[in-house]
Amino acid sequence: MNIRKAISLFSGAVLLGLIFVVLPLLLISLNNYLGLPIYTNTCFKITGLVFIINGLSVVIYSTVLHIQTGRKTPLPVFEQPKQFIVHGLYKYCRNPMYLSEIILFLGLFLLLGHILLLLYPMVAFLIIHMFVVHVEEPELHRIFGQEYLRYTTDVPRWIPRLKK
């Protein structure tokens, strides 16, 4: 493995740790410090666990699809796509991985109940949406051209369309 790949993988791991571990823990600590409410509801906890399991499953599934296209990481910041993915969950939604991450963050709030964790999926969605619209989609259009434009007219960005 060359140094560039090692740095890319390390950076990806650090970024994932920051997003999925450090930031939620900071929000929980801040929630406790400020004495904000913590909701404890069995139905919320079960629903949150279901959201987390489903969110993780889709993230893993999408990561495998990206790796199968020859990429080392699905993170567009670190590696340009080599192949356009239009099968699997990508037939129904252009961003199943990002959507599943938002669902996972919502599940974290439902499971743990710290009110500040409810802000996390909202802020994450806004940041992801801006990134997708202003960075990722223009880049995919530049790389894949008309094929990508047809895909964007057939497949919704966020809300999956289950029927064609």
pTM: 0.83
Continuous H helices in 18-159: 23-34, 42-68, 96-112, 116-131, 137-144, 146-154
- What region does 16 belong to: left with phi over 0, alpha with psi -120 to 50, or beta? alpha
3-state secondary structure of 15: helix
Per-residue pLDDT of the chain (164 residues; tens, 9 = 90+): 577 666 666 776 777 788 888 999 999 999 999 999 999 899 999 999 999 999 999 988 988 888 887 665 555 555 677 777 888 899 999 999 999 999 999 999 999 999 999 999 999 999 999 999 998 899 889 888 999 999 999 999 999 887 75
d(CA 164, CA 161): 7
Domain boundaries, the chain: 3-154
Provide the token pair at 23. Answer: 């930031």
Distance of CA 117 to the CA centre of its chain: 16
CATH number of 3-154: 1.20.120.1630
d(CA 37, CA 117): 11
